[in-house]
Structure 1
Amino acid sequence: MADNQHLIGIDIGGTKCAVVLGKYNGEEINIINKITFPTQIAKGPEYILNEIKAAVHDLIKDISKSAIAGIGISCGGPLNSKTGTILSPPNLIGWDSIKVVELFEKEFGIKTYLQNDANACALAEWRFGAGRGLENVIFLTFGTGMGAGLILNGKLYSGTNDMAGEVGHIRMAGFGPVGYGKAGSFEGFCSGGGIRQLAITKALERLQMGELVSFCNNINDLESITAKTVSDAAFAGDELAKSIYEISGEYLGKGLAIMIDMLNPEAIIIGSIFTRSRDLLWPAAERVIKAESLSYSNAVCKILPAQLDEYIGDYAALAVALNN
């Protein structure tokens, strides 16, 4: 791709959508403008896609199409990146077999590319964040869910049908919090929803014994617990809250040890909750990694927080356009 070319990034999420205009100078992408709006799922995919199209038209109204190198779309899976089709993501009800690449290429006459959000984030952190200059990188989402994007030998690896990196589905224990439709899964222990489930269980145990819980006043308040309320309590010194994050950290360590042994990466970059709560998670995770992983593989692998922080969704969508 030539330097000083514009790129369009589209981040389609279950809660909000973002359309971003960026410019690539050969090393960095500078974000020029951005439009965001809520994803009104109830109005259906056609309504939301029309909102996205309108936002793209607005962002490029003063730019020649010949100056735009591509459009990148980041969206939760499952999807087919080869055909450019979104295939019924659980957070986008009604988005069944949406040929989104075809729609945007027809609308704008600009080459368009699609990747799942974990892959897109892996590309972004590899090109512009903590993985810059490395050849073998794993990116873990650790947010609402747990997924991985894989950069292997300097290329994105998405598998036979775009299902590579679905590490959240790995069973880590015979019983435990539910994530990715499986009790005791990696996502169950290492995601915002999983930490919430752990906290509800632990808080209920204490409350039923007549003990106080700093992040939950009574049984009626259990549903108000979130991963953030627990982390806030843990950072304030609450021992129960700290123990919940320690459990999550232990299973994070188990999952990381498996990936270190299987893929021998230079770095595993972890986003979202890990970047905010690293001090709560890492001591237990590090202890387990040292006990479980091959020492030669562990010695060459760095565990890093994501660098792009709250802007990662913007860079991820732009990186999809840049990667093709």
Structure 2
Amino acid sequence: MPLFLKFIVMSDKKIISIDIGGTKISGAIFSIEGNMSHFTKLYLNGRYGDEAGKLVIELLDKLISDSGKDINKIHGIGISVPGIIYSEDGTVWAPNIEGWVKYPLLNTIKRYLNNSDIQVCIESDRTCYLCGELWQGAAKGSENVVYIGVGTGIGAGIMLDSKLLHGFGDIAGSVGWMALQIPYSEEYDKCGCFEYYASGNGICNRAIELIKQSLDYQGFFSDKVIEDITTKDIFEAYYLSDPIATKVINKAIQLWGMASANIVSLLNPEKIIWGGGVFGPAVKLIPEIYKEACMWAQPISIKQVEYLPSGCSGEAGLKGAAYLVLKHIKYGKQI
């Protein structure tokens, strides 16, 4: 088929993109040109195991219906998962979804589709976030870039010399386990030292601990139900100079700076992009994080790198998952 005719045929097809999180699943339809439509969101509401898998299928079914109820109009499906996708068999480990330990997500999707012509590309959320930035965000045109996603947990998508890094066991980028403080504590067993203090969950949990320990505390949280406090509340209190919020966020800034300094010294990227739900409210802190990193990092490489906020307005995962399908169209394989 002539190239221009092939493009016309392909441009009529759509890409379905799904971004699975620890609490919700988002989805959208993308054109080949990169335009997004039909954004939709479903909440897990405690679903786990196969029930969480059924919710993914429910969302996928809705998006296929929204695209015109013609499965032949779907070129491919890109899926971002909050954990590890094992490339050898398409199974998933997602620590925030109970029962997703070697969960057969790829086979679940393929059984539902029953159409071998539809390409299914699954990647870790950290890699998808980076791909979204490469396609339509702050990493466009970059060859050496690290995306640090700070949300419920912390992960990094890494591209070096235009190659996405996956590692021997597809676990590369699990920076939440970076060792940044001594001595070791068993509290780090579940999520790692970095994530314990500087993830969204970590920030919230550390603040709640301090509030409970401070019997004479009089501040932003004095009239709040402790169990209802959110990470968003911690940042609101921080910007109002609440002493507990200040202590917790300053600790996070220190560790974000140290961790990113280690990444800069090891990998020498041209850009570090900060995203995820926390960078939201924490985006104003990027200059302070860079200042902290300058104290720790290799002195030449830290001057070569830019610290930037995400350019995808919270849609990096969806855009990145769709980008994976586009790359498969171009190269016939996942990047």
Interval containing the TM-score (normalised by the shorter chain)? 0.7 to 0.9
Q: Shift in Å at residue 292 of structure 1?
A: 0.8
Tell me, yes or no, if structure 1 residue 255 matches structure 2 residue 259. yes
Distance 2:160 2:198 in 1: 23
Tell me, yes or no, if structure 1 residue 90 matches structure 2 residue 98. no
Q: State the partner residue of 1:214.
A: 220
Q: How does 1:147-158 map to 2 (within 5 A)?
A: 147-158=155-166
Find 1:117's aligned residue among 105, 112, 125: 125
String of CA shifts for 1:26-70, please: whole Å, max 9, x gaps.
xxx1012233222251572453243134224313335562x5332
The alignment partner of 1:9 has SS state of strand
Would the aligned equivalents of 1:84 and 1:113 in 2 still touch at CA under 8 Å? no
Tell me, yes or no, if structure 1 residue 146 matches structure 2 residue 151. no
Q: State the partner residue of 1:47.
A: 54
Would the aligned equivalents of 2:128 and 2:316 in 1 still touch at CA under 8 Å? no
Find 1:267's aligned residue among 265, 271, 274: 271
Q: Shift in Å at residue 154 of structure 1?
A: 1.2
Distance 2:186 2:205 in 1: 6
Tell me, yes or no, if structure 1 residue 278 matches structure 2 residue 286. no
Distance 1:273 1:7 in 2: 28
Find 1:36's aligned residue among 41, 59, 67: 41
String of CA shifts for 1:86-111, please: whole Å, max 9, x gaps.
23x22222234333323434414301
In structure 2, do the counterparts of structure 1 residues 286 and 97 end up closer, same or farther at CA, with 3 Å as the change threshold? closer
String of CA shifts for 1:153-206, please: whole Å, max 9, x gaps.
1121111121000010112112579556156x111121111111321233344x
Matched AA of 2:92: I
Structure 1 stretches lacking a partner, 5+ long: none
String of CA shifts for 1:117-158, please: whole Å, max 9, x gaps.
111111111221011111011111111100111111112111
Structure 2 stretches lacking a partner, 5+ long: 1-5, 329-335
Distance 2:105 2:88 in 1: 12
| TM-score normalised by L of structure 1 | 0.87
In structure 2, do the counterparts of structure 1 residues 70 and 167 end up closer, same or farther at CA, with 3 Å as the change threshold? same
Matched AA of 2:103: I
Would the aligned equivalents of 2:180 and 2:194 in 1 still touch at CA under 8 Å? yes
Distance 1:135 1:82 in 2: 26
In structure 2, do the counterparts of structure 1 residues 216 and 122 end up closer, same or farther at CA, with 3 Å as the change threshold? farther
In structure 2, do the counterparts of structure 1 residues 153 and 216 end up closer, same or farther at CA, with 3 Å as the change threshold? farther
Find 1:232's aligned residue among 236, 250, 253: 236
Find 1:58's aligned residue among 48, 65, 69: 65
Tell me, yes or no, if structure 1 residue 241 matches structure 2 residue 250. no
Matched AA of 2:91: T
The alignment partner of 1:295 has SS state of coil
Matched AA of 1:246: N
Q: Shift in Å at residue 262 of structure 1?
A: 0.3
Matched AA of 1:98: Y
Distance 1:63 1:50 in 2: 16
Q: State the partner residue of 1:79.
A: 85
Would the aligned equivalents of 2:130 and 2:316 in 1 still touch at CA under 8 Å? no
Would the aligned equivalents of 1:246 and 1:281 in 2 still touch at CA under 8 Å? no
Matched AA of 1:224: D
Would the aligned equivalents of 1:253 and 1:286 in 2 still touch at CA under 8 Å? yes
Distance 1:234 1:140 in 2: 22
In structure 2, do the counterparts of structure 1 residues 155 and 298 end up closer, same or farther at CA, with 3 Å as the change threshold? same
Q: Shift in Å at residue 229 of structure 1?
A: 0.9
Q: State the partner residue of 1:194.
A: 202
Distance 1:201 1:50 in 2: 39
Q: How many residues align?
A: 313
Matched AA of 2:273: I
The alignment partner of 1:134 has SS state of coil
In structure 2, do the counterparts of structure 1 residues 177 and 120 end up closer, same or farther at CA, with 3 Å as the change threshold? farther
Distance 1:320 1:289 in 2: 32
Distance 2:63 2:98 in 1: 23
Would the aligned equivalents of 1:12 and 1:73 in 2 still touch at CA under 8 Å? yes
